[in-house]
């Protein structure tokens, strides 16, 4: 596209007919809540994380070169991109009045045409070809084709400031305070759409509620009866280290699952899938949390630090590859629970018994099967989750249920054998009082599977248990039995 040099701007704006004034709309961050370039980068990273180095190399060769290379390799599902519905409704209303709508974006023209295919409300589209159609370049083209003050403009970024000043009316989408102030100083602002990002949105993205799983780090501290301030403080430090690293993994998983989450009836509301939070902030936050978690972990024992790295590596590999591999996914998911127990012993320098490791392995394997069975049951019931089977077939539902229940019951057998072992006498004065625990665990795991079979289980059985009154009653009885057994 030939570049046009804008002449000296006129000090006053011309008055034109409302209906004949084109309405120009930016794409990234304005019409859609995300950025197509960032979407493409995520797709490449999902294919191979090492592609980040290719992206850096392409970027050094120029923004247009970068966009073209990503376009060739990343298949974007345009129909799934989160649209700003308020802006869309406004455009449809203006279209109904017979107004000319123009899409002008710094994304490639190829992307702009795909957006036009999905949303055929635009009369014209402008996009990047030879030059990056952003800021001054976009301004020159718009003034050349429509004239100074002969168009209205909807934008969202600082690079749009010059365009706002050359437009008749300006419309802003989620502007910063500085951008809004400067735009009002140089232009007539007609309307501002604001969608305030709250701290809670970031807390939801990092899944703070999932930190409950990391309380497993305290299990060795509790079961060994090593109630000392030093052991407790070390367990607390390990809890926060694990939580930060785990949250980093959750962010990466959500970014890699954008397309899948956007067709999920509930997960489409997640901060990144819905466009509530920008992709770049997710990548940056994931890096910050990972570095912070590993830094805290390095303050403790070397074995704990190594386990923390292994946990992140396995978690990352699970998000990239293993969660679609039949059986491997549930065993790895169960191991991610069990490794928390191992880490708890390492950070507090507490010996972990063979019985504890074996019990945790079987019970967490059962809970991992619960997650898969719940997904398969919803697919079988006709829910819109056809792409969430993760390699399983609905024919596997009964088999998954059988293996899950068997794993749960095996954990009860292991616990019963533990109660009858010599190790118990070292910790409990009245080990026979522990026998009711076998039945309490049996009731709990049976109840979990009944709830799951009824379709009432959430995506995570641990989160379900935290909200379940029955689980609290069983926990209280377990604590009471342990108290009288000591």
Q: Is residue 441 part of a domain?
A: yes
Give residue-wise pLDDT tens across range 157-176.
999 999 999 999 999 999 99
Give CA–CA dist 246/275, Å, rounded.
22
The strand order across the sheet containing 189-193 reads: 124-128, 101-108, 23-25, 152-155, 170-173, 189-193
In the three-class reduction of DSSP (H, G, I as helix; E, B as strand; rest coil), residue 486 is classed as coil
Q: Is residue 69 part of a domain?
A: no
Give yes or no for a contact between 437 and 444, defined as CB atoms under 8 angstroms apart: no
Residue ending a domain, among 167, 193, 219, is 193
Which of left, alpha, beta for 114 (phi over 0: left; psi -120 to 50: alpha)?
alpha
For the chain, how long is the longest CA-to-CA vector? 93
Mean residue pLDDT across the chain: 87
Domain that holds residue 229: 198-352
Does one domain contain both 207 and 249? Answer: yes
Query: Nearest 5 degrees, angle CA 397-CA 400-CA 402?
Result: 110
Give residue-wise pLDDT tens across range 194-232.
988 888 889 999 998 888 888 889 888 887 777 778 888
pLDDT of the residue at 290: 95
Does one domain contain both 304 and 314? Answer: yes
Give CA–CA dist 142/158, Å, rounded.
17
Give residue-wise pLDDT tens across range 279-338.
999 999 999 999 999 999 999 989 999 999 999 999 888 888 887 788 888 899 888 888
Does one domain contain both 456 and 375? Answer: yes
Does one domain contain both 226 and 368? Answer: no
Query: Nearest 5 degrees, angle CA 300-CA 303-CA 306?
Result: 100
Residue ending a domain, among 159, 178, 193, is 193
Decide if pLDDT at 6 tops 70. no
Give residue-wise pLDDT tens across range 120-155.
999 999 999 989 999 999 999 999 999 999 999 999
pLDDT of the residue at 26: 96
312: part of which helix (H) or strand (E)?
Answer: helix 302-320
Decide if pLDDT at 454 tops 70. yes
Decide if pLDDT at 255 tops 90. yes
The number of CA neighbours under 13 Å toward the Cβ of 118 is 17
Q: Into how many domains does the chain fold?
A: 3
pLDDT of the residue at 295: 95
User: pLDDT band at residue 118, thresholds of 50, 70 and 90?
Assistant: very high
Does one domain contain both 248 and 278? Answer: yes
Q: What is the DSSP letter of 431?
A: G
Q: Is residue 68 part of a domain?
A: no
In sequence order, which residues have a C-beta less than 8 Å from that of residue 291 and are 6 or more positions away? none
pLDDT of the residue at 426: 76
User: pLDDT band at residue 429, thresholds of 50, 70 and 90?
Assistant: confident
pLDDT of the residue at 382: 61
Residues 244, 250, 251, 254, Cα dihedral to 10°: -170
- Give the pairing type, strands 152-155 and 23-25: parallel
pLDDT of the residue at 405: 94
105: part of which helix (H) or strand (E)?
Answer: strand 101-108
b/e burial code for range 337-356 (CB count within 10 A of at least 16 → b): bbbbbbbbbbbbebebbebb
Does one domain contain both 262 and 409? Answer: no
pLDDT of the residue at 18: 55
pLDDT of the residue at 386: 44
Q: Is residue 64 part of a domain?
A: no
Does one domain contain both 27 and 168? Answer: yes
């Amino acid at each position: 596209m030939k570049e046009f040099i804008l002449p000296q701007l006129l000090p006053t704006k011309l008055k034109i007919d409302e209906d004949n004034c084109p309405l120009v709309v930016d794409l990234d961050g304005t019409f859609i809540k995300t950025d197509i370039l960032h979407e493409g980068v995520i797709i490449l990273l999902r294919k191979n994380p090492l592609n980040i180095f290719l992206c850096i190399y392409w970027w050094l060769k120029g923004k247009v070169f970068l966009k073209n290379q990503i376009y060739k390799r990343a298949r974007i599902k345009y129909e799934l991109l989160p649209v700003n519905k308020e802006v869309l409704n406004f455009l449809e209303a203006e279209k109904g009045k017979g107004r000319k709508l123009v899409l002008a974006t710094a994304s490639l023209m190829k992307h702009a045409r795909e957006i036009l295919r999905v949303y055929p409300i635009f009369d014209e589209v402008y996009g990047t070809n030879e030059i990056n159609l952003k800021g001054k370049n976009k301004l020159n083209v718009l003034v050349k084709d429509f004239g100074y003050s002969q168009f209205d403009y909807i934008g969202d970024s600082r690079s749009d400031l010059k365009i706002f000043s050359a437009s008749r009316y300006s419309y802003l989408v989620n502007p910063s305070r500085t951008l809004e102030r400067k735009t009002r100083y140089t232009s007539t602002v007609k309307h501002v759409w604001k969608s305030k990002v709250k701290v809670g949105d970031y807390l939801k993205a990092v899944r703070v509620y999932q930190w409950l799983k990391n309380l497993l780090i305290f299990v060795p501290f509790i079961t060994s009866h090593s109630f000392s301030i030093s052991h407790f403080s070390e367990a607390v430090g390990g809890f926060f280290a694990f939580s930060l690293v785990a949250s980093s993994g959750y962010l990466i998983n959500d970014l890699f699952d954008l397309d899948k989450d956007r067709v999920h009836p509930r997960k489409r509301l997640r901060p990144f899938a819905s466009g509530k939070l920008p992709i770049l902030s997710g990548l940056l936050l994931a890096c910050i949390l990972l570095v912070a978690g590993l830094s805290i972990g390095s303050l403790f024992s070397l074995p704990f630090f190594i386990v923390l790295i292994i946990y992140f590596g396995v978690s990352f590999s699970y998000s990239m590859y293993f969660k679609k591999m039949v059986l491997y996914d549930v065993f790895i998911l169960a191991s991610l629970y069990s490794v928390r127990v191992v880490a708890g012993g390492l950070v507090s320098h507490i010996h972990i018994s063979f019985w504890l490791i074996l019990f945790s392995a079987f019970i967490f394997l059962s809970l991992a099967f619960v997650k898969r069975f719940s997904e398969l049951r919803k697919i079988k019931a006709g829910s819109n989750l056809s792409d969430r089977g993760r390699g399983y077939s609905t024919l596997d539902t009964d088999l998954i249920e059988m293996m899950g229940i068997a794993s749960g019951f095996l954990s009860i057998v292991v616990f019963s054998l533990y109660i009858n072992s010599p190790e118990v006498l070292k910790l409990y004065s009245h080990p026979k009082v522990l026998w009711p625990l076998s039945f309490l665990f049996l009731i709990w795991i049976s109840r979990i599977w009944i709830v799951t079979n009824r379709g009432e289980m959430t995506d995570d059985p641990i989160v379900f248990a935290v909200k379940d009154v029955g689980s609290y009653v069983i926990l209280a009885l377990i604590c009471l039995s342990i108290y009288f057994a000591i």
